[in-house]
Homo-oligomer: A and B are copies of this chain.
Amino acid sequence: MIILDGKKLKEERLKALKNKIKDLKLSLAVIQIGNDEASSVYINQKKKACENLNVEFSHIKLEENITETKLLNIIKDLNNSDVTGILLQLPIPNHLNKMTLQNAIDYKKDVDGLNVINVNRLINNEKGLLPCTAKGIINMLKAYNIELAGKHVVIVGRSNLVGRPVSNLFLNENATVTICHSKTKNLNEITKLADILIAATGKKHLITAEMIKQGAIIVDVGINKIDGTLYGDVDYENVKEKTSYITPVPGGIGPMTICCLMENIYEAYLLQNNN
């Protein structure tokens, strides 16, 4: 069993990236609306990563009750500024339309890969900015030379942030893809078919040893904080010996997500400069 070490891989990749961007003036603007505690933690991680790479970081913190019109104007100004990447931290309050706002971000600055133009490019297997977690998963598997073509990938979770984009990425890599979710019957039988199992449900230890086949590759996207401790969606301790490769939580996909955000800022720069 080999541990897929996201922390180490992130360090290696960011070192290479730092070298590539050392003469460039890159920047990231993160828009936060309200005071969601988890969001503040994530934004702080992004800030640190930017600082380590000499990417200018601006944190645009807005009132919970901001109007959509005001927000659209702020995004418009950022589009017209020389900022390289723009990120709208999720979740946002209910009175705001997520799709409208994400589509207002210039697709060449959309480092979260959630603008319609980037979503459509992914579906059409054309080059564009990709959602960070989905891209992080693929980059991780490729870094360990894991063959994806022809593999049966079972994804548990159908969110727009992870499940659906990752399914398209794996299809583009010629994998066979199954998407399961809370309404799936016989989940245990379907997960057992997986050569590669992606758990992205937000349910602590949903995936147990009985649910996987011997030698499967397990990718755990879950970040479930309970009483101050972080748990994945996979019962790591009991599952790991049955696997060929497995990501830990923390230290697996989490670091890869941050790593891909930084790589996306550089890709956004290249897009804006027609490379």
Contact = CB atoms under 8 A, between A and B. Distances in A.
A22 B142 CA distance: 58
Interface string A227-270: 00000000000000000000000000000000000000000000
Nearest to A195: B185
A121 B99 CA distance: 9
A181 B171 contact: yes
Q: How many copies does the complex hold?
A: 2
A18 interface: no
Interface residues of A, number: 32
Interface string A123-157: 11010000000000000000000000110100000
A149 to B, nearest CB: 6
Interface stretch (A41-49, A55-63, A64-72, A160-168): A160-168
A95 to B, nearest CB: 17
A178 interface: yes
Interface in A156-213: 158, 160, 164, 167-168, 171, 174-181, 183-185, 190, 193
Nearest to A178: B178
A179 B177 contact: yes
12 contacts: A99-B121, A116-B119, A152-B185, A152-B190, A167-B167, A174-B181, A174-B183, A176-B183, A176-B185, A176-B190, A177-B178, A178-B178
